[in-house]
Structure 1
Amino acid sequence: RLEASGYEIVERLLLPDGLEPLRSQLIRLCDQRQPYLILTTGGTGFSPRDVTPEATLAVAERQAPGIAEAIRAHSLSITPRAMLSRGVSVLRGGTLIVNLPGSVKAVEESLDCFLEVLPHGLEVLRGEAGDCGVTRSEV
Structure 2
Amino acid sequence: MSKTARIGIVTVSDRAFAGVYADEGGPAIRDYFARALASPWEAVTRLVPDERSRIAETLRELSDREGCCLVVTTGGTGPAPRDVTPEATGDVLEKPMPGFGELMRQVSLAKVPTAILSRQTAGIRGRTLIVNLPGRPRAIAECLDAVMPAIPYCIDLIEGPRLETDPAVIAAFRPKA
TM-score, normalised on structure 1? 0.87
Are 1:57 and 2:90 an aligned pair? yes
Task: List per-residue Cα deviations over 1:21-49 (Å, max 9, x = no partner).
Answer: 11111111111112110000000001101
- Aligned to 1:118, which of 126, 151, 155? 151
Q: Supply the distance in 1 between the matched residues of 2:61 and 2:46 (Cα, whole angstroms).
A: 12
The 1-side partners of 2:160 and 2:119 are apart by 29
- Of all paired residues, the percent bearing the same amino acid is 38
Equivalent residue number for residue 76 of structure 1: 109
CA 1:38–1:58: 2 relative to 1, 3 Å: same
C-alpha RMSD of the superposition: 2.1
| SS of the residue 1:49 aligns to | coil
Kept in 2: contact 1:3–1:9 (CA 8 A): no
Q: Distance in 1 between matches of 2:85 and 2:160?
A: 28
Tell me if 1:92 matches 2:120. no
Find the residue that maps to 1:107 and give its secondary structure.
helix
Alignment match of 1:14 (pick from 47, 60, 75): 47
Quick one: distance in 2 between partners of 1:99 and 1:50?
12
Instruction: Tell me the TM-score normalized by structure 2.
Output: 0.69
**Distance change in 2, residues 1:92/1:109 (3 Å):** same
> Any gaps of 5 or more consecutive residues in structure 1?
none
Of 59, 71, 76, which residue of structure 2 is paired with 1:43?
76
Instruction: Please list every run of 5 or more consecutive structure 2 residues that lacks an aligned counterpart in the other structure.
Output: 1-31, 163-172
Bigger helix share: 1
Aligned length: 133
Structure 1 residues 49, 127: CA separation in 2 closer, same or farther (over 3 Å shift)?
closer
Q: Alpha-carbon deviation of 1:117? A: 2.2
Q: Spell out structure 1 runs of 4+ moving beyond 2 A.
A: none
